[in-house]
Amino acid sequence: MMMFELDSKLAADTFSIARLGLCDLRLMNDRRWPWLILVPQRPNICEIHEMTPLDQTMLTFEAGIAAQALKTVVNCEKINTAAIGNIVRQLHLHVIARNSGDPAWPGPVWGFGKREPYEEKEAKAFANAILKAI
């Protein structure tokens, strides 16, 4: 049986928040947008349709929990959810809080400007707020 291993780019670009039932919940290290990442703990999965029906259901459930927590913590106008995977092939789901007037609005956040990393203390505080909201 293969063991799950987090993609090195995801590990470098995110902070771990918590392990949910299926997913590793992570915070993208870019303070311009409140941005969570869900990584299903399944080896060699690139697409949602490659998952079992039960895992697909769990991913949907956990994405909803993450989105609601994010909305509660930042009181955003819109939640963007996407599984793109063009650069990082390992299946991961982006859950991003958006507001009209944010730097990339209404376009996508990918490739927009230069990333602004969190201070470690700020990232921990945000992660704790998300955990509390969950």
- Average pLDDT of every residue of the chain: 95
pLDDT for residue 131: 97
Token pair in block for residue 17 = 């928040």
Task: State the residue range of the domain holding 112.
Answer: 8-133
- The percent helix, strand, coil of the chain (3-state, each to 5) is 35, 20, 45
Task: Report if residue 41 sits inside a domain.
Answer: yes
pLDDT category of residue 36 using cuts at 50, 70 and 90: very high
Task: Report if residue 2 sits inside a domain.
Answer: no
Query: Rounded to whole angstroms, how far apart are CA atoms 13 and 39?
Result: 13
Q: Which of 38-42, 71-75, 104-108 has the lowest mean pLDDT?
A: 104-108
Task: Report if residue 51 sits inside a domain.
Answer: yes
Task: Report if residue 111 sits inside a domain.
Answer: yes
Residues 43-86 have pLDDT tens digits of 999 999 999 999 999 999 999 999 999 999 999 999 999 998 78
CATH of the domain at 72: 3.30.428.10
Alpha-carbon distance values, 42 to 10, 27, 45, 65, 67 (Å): 15, 19, 6, 19, 21
Task: Report if residue 1 sits inside a domain.
Answer: no
